[in-house]
Structure 1
């Protein structure tokens, strides 16, 4: 797998037939190790180990309806009231972050209404704070660290 622009973490990999599997600490099971999953697992561990988000507030590939279509978020951090706080879209390292990707995730977030939006391919990371009232996206230098007070505002 590609080296990423995220801190390394201790991972567990096993094999099933021709597939490599990586242990997902959120779903508590081994999942197929794709290039996108490699990025997602790095982000999960970054949020927990570096930014101090409680593991219990993270959800991987949870479904939501948007325009009568079932969509799945790569990773969502919820606040303590169960509302989306931070939506993360992961792409494989070789996939460029284009305006089309940003648009796709922004449209999807209109349903979830997460105030923070992150798009990453493991090499490049983009984060915005979203104001749904004014429909403005404020670019942020970094993904906000966990703060119990900031989660429910």
Structure 2
């Protein structure tokens, strides 16, 4: 059996979706971040046009607008703050406001316009930020979003 050749972001969505289903079946955990005024939602206020576009079990997916000239480390820190109390979290950022995803799955056009992608999965230990290195030129090549 051969594995279908899919874009990286399709595989990321599939994996996170499966983890969300497994977590929901196992009972998940309470998402304090949604109700705590001093928690991760305070970080969302610092991110432009931040909104939840998907959620299942303990997985939360956020879409944010990234401004040109944003400091990469600061943006990664804000994404970590936003996800700080979550087990599974995905933060995606776009520069072009018209390309910001409003729901999952994203369109190809929305996926191609992605400038920032942060994934947190406490179950597997994944904590990773990827960047559009045409926009964020100081990022090492192994942390660039590939096309």
Give the structure with the higher percent helix: 2
Q: Which has the higher strand share?
A: 1
Bin of the TM-score, shorter chain as denominator length: 0.3 to 0.5
Normalised by the size of structure 1, how large is the TM-score?
Answer: 0.36
